[in-house]
Every structure is written in C-alpha cells, then in structure tokens.
Amino acid sequence: MAKPLTKTQLIAALAEEMGADKKAAAAALDAVCNVTVREVVGGGSVTLPGIGKVYCRERPERMVRNPATQEMVKKDADKVVKVTIAKSLRDQVNG
C-alpha cells in the first residue's frame, strides 16, 4: 500500500494541477477544509464531486462491552462523521 500524501505534498500537487503557486493552492485547500468542517458541524453535508459525500450521523444510546472486564456498559448517544465514497471513484479503484 502506498504511503498517504502529506499536506505539503498535496499542496504541491494541487499547485501543479492548478497551474498556480503553492500559496494559492494552500489557501484553496484550507478554504475547502474550512467550508467542509463548518457545514458538517452545523448538521449539513458536503458532496465533493468525484470523491464522495461527508456528513454527520447520530448514533443512538446503546450497550457496549468493556474488553478488559467483559462488562456491558451503557454508552450515551453520540455523533460520528461518515464519508460515502462516490461510485465513479469506486469504479476507478476497482477497475
């Protein structure tokens, strides 16, 4: 498995793809990240075309097992961030 891109490598790749300097690419990446975080925290979702959809889902209260003691413990309701991968990306990875 290939190593994931670091932020610096991603910014360099974006700058090359955009035909812009690294400062503009970093600003664009930060803007996309900030908008995505703001929307998901606010209860919305963000669709990144060709990549997928980022959204927040509520999980109900449930019983979970403590692996150290095997005791069943009640876990309160919480929220988790989910990503649904776009079909086009899945097809390209598997094709």
Interval 33-40 mean pLDDT: 96
Interval 41-67 mean pLDDT: 95
What is the rounded distance in angstroms from the CA atom of residue 18 to the CA atom of residue 29? 12
Tell me which residue range forms the domain holding 83.
43-95
What is the rounded distance in angstroms from the CA atom of residue 10 to the CA atom of residue 68? 40
- The pLDDT of residue 2 is 84
Domains contained in the chain, number: 2
- The pLDDT of residue 87 is 96
pLDDT for residue 42 is more than 80: yes
* Among the listed residues 62, 93, 67, the one whose alpha carbon sits nearest the alpha carbon of residue 80: 62
**One domain, residues 30 and 59:** no
pLDDT for residue 65 is more than 90: yes
**What CATH number corresponds to the domain at position 85?**
4.10.520.10
- Distance between the two ends of the chain, CA-based, in angstroms? 17
Q: Which two tokens stand for residue 37?
A: 């975080």
- The pLDDT of residue 1 is 74
Whole-model pTM: value is 0.80
**One domain, residues 9 and 37:** yes
